[in-house]
């Protein structure tokens, strides 16, 4: 068995289709890596696109598979042959998804912005307990102010605790 994994951003909103009575969610994932050009020495991006087909009856994830959303997907490779309008025979490689997980979204999106924009509460350690998402408001204490210290005081040493 061959198993492939990809982490990247969706290149377009997903589409949900019914094929022969079965539901399939189609989406494309882009993964960009940077490499150093051997002739010029400059860093250049290289983007690989992976077409994905998720055959499932669980379509509740579909509204969240929007352009720019970062996902983890794993599955097996699947080939499909077809003929173009010019009569040329082609083969396409598709990833037949077995598992997909939402990791976040781009900072330009309105949802999930605090987890990805570098605001308070974001960083390498915030994704471990919350599954990749931070609390609304960027992790501030109730009332919109940060705790400010070990005992919950403000910068001038006063606190609003009743004891």
Q: Do 92 and 77 meet the contact criterion of CB atoms below 8 Å apart?
A: no
Give this prediction's pTM: 0.59
Task: State both tokens at 1.
Answer: 């068995």
Integer Cα distance of 146 and 141 in angstroms:
5
Q: Does residue 156 fall inside a structural domain?
A: no
Contact in structure between 61 and 100 (CB atoms under 8 Å): yes
Asked whether residue 153 is domain-assigned, the answer is no
Structure-token pair, residue 25: 């969610």
Phi, psi of 130 (to 5 degrees): -95, 10
* Whole-number pLDDT of residue 108: 55
Which single residue is written with the structure tokens 């605001």?
A: 119
Q: Give domain status of residue 107, yes or no.
A: yes
Q: What's the structural domain count of the chain?
A: 1
CB 71 within 8 A of CB 10: yes
The residue assigned the tokens 């919350």 is 130
Distance, CA of 63 to CA of 125 (rounded, Å): 28
CATH of the domain at 39: 2.40.50.140
Answer whether residue 135 is part of any domain: no
Q: 50 and 16 in contact (C-beta within 8 Å)? A: no
In angstroms, how far is CA 160 from the centroid of its own chain? 40
Structural domain contains residue 71: yes
Structure tokens at 148: 């400010």
Q: In this structure, is residue 118 part of a structural domain?
A: yes
Tens of pLDDT along the chain (163 residues) come to 899 999 999 999 999 999 999 999 999 999 999 999 999 999 999 999 999 999 999 899 999 999 999 999 999 999 888 899 999 998 888 999 999 999 976 655 444 334 333 333 333 333 333 333 333 344 444 444 444 444 444 555 555 655 4
Radius of gyration of the chain (CA): 22
Q: Is residue 16 part of a domain?
A: yes
The parent domain of residue 71 ranges over 4-130
Q: Is residue 20 part of a domain?
A: yes
Q: What's the confidence (pLDDT) of residue 117?
A: 38
Q: Which two tokens stand for residue 34?
A: 């940077």
């Amino acid at each position: 068995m061959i198993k492939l994994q990809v982490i990247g951003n969706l290149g377009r909103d997903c589409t949900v289709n019914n094929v022969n009575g079965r539901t399939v969610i189609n989406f494309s994932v882009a993964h960009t890596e940077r490499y150093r050009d051997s002739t010029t020495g400059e860093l250049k991006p290289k983007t690989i696109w992976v077409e994905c087909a998720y055959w499932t009856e669980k379509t509740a994830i579909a509204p969240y598979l929007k352009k720019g959303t970062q996902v983890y997907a794993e599955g097996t490779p699947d080939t499909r042959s077809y003929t173009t309008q010019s009569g040329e025979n082609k083969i396409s490689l598709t990833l037949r998804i077995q598992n997909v997980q939402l990791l976040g979204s781009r900072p330009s999106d309105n949802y999930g912005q605090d987890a990805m924009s570098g605001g308070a509460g974001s960083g390498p350690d915030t994704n471990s307990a919350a599954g990749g998402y931070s609390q609304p408001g960027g992790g501030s204490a109730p009332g919109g102010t940060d705790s400010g210290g070990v005992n919950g005081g403000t910068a001038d040493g006063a606190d609003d605790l009743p004891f």
